[in-house]
Structure 1
């Protein structure tokens, strides 16, 4: 049944087509990010940029329209092999569900064998002014109470239950974010998860035109603001982190949704055909580390077909316990070589998980490929 008392402006926007025109206009504005003066102006990089925007459109519609009802939450995968955002981790399985921080939810799961698993509630959102995604609650997998058969339940909401697992929310919480980090995807099993609202009553309602209007606009703003935010980051990395991997401002990374257990080192690389970047790393005791090569738009390169990242399990170490990583267009014949997969510049990222305040020592240098040390 059509809802009564719809605001005249919303109804007019639907009936006249203005809503759709506004959606398309915002997407058109998002395309301006590709033409900023500092972006690479090659057909290759611009094609990737357009593909990036098309991926964000797909992700925005999935999150903001199709899975936007906090009364009927479902898990979606917001970043994966063909949808990448802000230096996505190739070793991660990301899952999100829409929630309302004032309600209670139950998450059921089977733990699996993935080494790192954590749960976070968030407020803000990339579709909103400021593009912050701030934490409102966090539950580390190390603290998760799991039954003997591997099953578990988590209550998500503003009040702590008398017993069992609890993930806190605030009134403004709108997202549940789950990160699963693999050391070896071939041998480790992910957690299997489902979610339901505990205090919901009644059947699923039909489409609400007013809510749909708001959701479609949010989906467009998501594309524009994600593209703007990470182009800003890349601009800053290009000038301040050129062919280096400094620690950077962790508060900025956390405000954009970063995991509080992770320390991020962000860089920008650019290599001629005959050059290689060597990363020498002394890594402290930690739960996990990895390094990845990204394109200009901060998408991980295509790890389905190319070796573009390395982690603590797959790396070959030096006799002194350090690790040397080589980024080059062609194989220099050394361990830990990562390909540029046809790119000549982009961003890169080194992350530590669970280092308990200890930091990595990272040094970088650019040399001729033929001069890369063989040991």
Structure 2
């Protein structure tokens, strides 16, 4: 305990800076830190290096082979393959640009393309990104000690977690937001080392530890705010700045290994583990990088222009639920201007607290429309977070049924909310406006 107090006191100036909103002064945006902007700038340079551009071909070929070996690939799906590969590669680059265990940085990724601070930042979506969640991966070494400092703002996320991962993204431990003990002003300090003090705000770095994966999830865009977060190694050491050349060499080599395509291959196989347009019962995560205390299900869909999937959902006591539609390459396309994902705050519940969604490439005039953004082939990944400690009498569940668009009214609840074309445009305009603050300077 004494050693942990010394660590926290030594880091106190850093804690004050981090809790004040990171390294970008005059910015209320918790994502707009100097480390984030520097990492994005560096990653943009890295992915433009010739060696990385050439290595993308290997990743693309491995994805394509895996897809063709399972559910097949439509001509439509091929049209956004390059975009998906580009975003996955940029995610790799951002991960490298977040430093190493000697000098880690807090950098968010798995995000849509955005423009801020004079930069056009490419998207970094890969393997079932969630637009409600900000993901931050922090490299750590169990032989070293760190202090994470941050702030839980007044309009806090509906759910947030600090997961300790091995080098293969297996969950070693998870510190959930409701286990965190912040100060009255929302500030918090988490000590991360091989030591254990028995307190609540700690992450014990066991021998297999390789990274801390942070997820902040909101379901009210433009209202709830992501947590501020920064990290410092204690004691700090002098390190050389990373260069685009060095990172490009590492990234190009990585992209040509089987491990680079492994997440896509695994989730692609999981989505096609049963017939299309069916949905297995949700299961708790913890493997393959999944959130340990999250329930989720995976399925592939294949729909004609005149077809839809009706998705009926029971929250099972969860604070958060999302119904997302993905393209063939396991990423979203345009969730800002389309209702490609809907969470439990964005959708209208049934009178009994359940939810009914209509998933289709064409507008069914239903408020709870999960728009595939015109795609006829892709994946579903409904997920439940903030599950009760004591399981509810009826746990999380979901069912899907293929229906002709013309027959929807015969299967939807009588209380279903329908919309006109004008009302749909209003819904979409409100959605885009609520997202706009995420990357506002």
CA contact (8 A) 1:154 1:167 kept: yes
Q: 1:331 to 1:153 in 2, by over 3 A?
A: same
Question: Match of 1:28?
Answer: 57
Separation (CA, whole Å) in 1 of partners of 2:245 and 2:225: 41
Deviation digits for residues 316-340 of structure 1, max 9, x if unmatched?
1223332111012222222311111
CA contact (8 A) 1:107 1:193 kept: yes
Separation (CA, whole Å) in 1 of partners of 2:81 and 2:245: 32
Q: Does 1:156 align with 2:192?
A: yes
Question: Match of 2:35?
Answer: none
CA contact (8 A) 2:279 2:297 kept: yes
3-state SS of paired residue (2:286): helix
How high is the TM-score relative to the length of structure 1?
0.83
Q: Write the mapping of 1:64-103 to structure 2, written as runs, cut at 5 A.
A: 64=96, 66-81=97-112, 82-103=123-144
Separation (CA, whole Å) in 1 of partners of 2:321 and 2:138: 27
Specify every segment of 5 or more residues in structure 2 that has no aligned partner in the other structure, as ranges.
1-48, 113-122, 415-441
Q: Write the mapping of 1:1-375 to structure 2, written as runs, cut at 5 A.
A: 26-36=55-65, 37=68, 38=70, 40-64=72-96, 66-81=97-112, 82-112=123-153, 113-124=156-167, 132-161=168-197, 163=199, 165-201=201-237, 203-205=238-240, 215-216=250-251, 219-221=254-256, 225-238=259-272, 240-247=274-281, 250=284, 253-356=285-388, 357=391, 359-373=395-409, 375=414
3-state SS of paired residue (1:133): coil
Deviation digits for residues 323-363 of structure 1, max 9, x if unmatched?
11101222222231111111011000111113345532322
Deviation digits for residues 118-165 of structure 1, max 9, x if unmatched?
1112112xxxxxxx3112232111011111111110001111247561
How high is the TM-score relative to the length of structure 2?
0.71
CA contact (8 A) 1:34 1:46 kept: no
CA contact (8 A) 2:190 2:203 kept: yes
Separation (CA, whole Å) in 2 of partners of 1:326 and 1:105: 46
Q: 1:105 to 1:69 in 2, by over 3 A?
A: same
Alignment length (residue pairs): 344
3-state SS of paired residue (2:281): coil
Separation (CA, whole Å) in 1 of partners of 2:346 and 2:359: 16
Q: 1:339 to 1:199 in 2, by over 3 A?
A: same
CA contact (8 A) 2:142 2:209 kept: yes
Higher strand share: 1
Q: What root-mean-square deviation, in Å, do the aligned CA atoms of Structure 1 and Structure 2 show?
A: 2.7
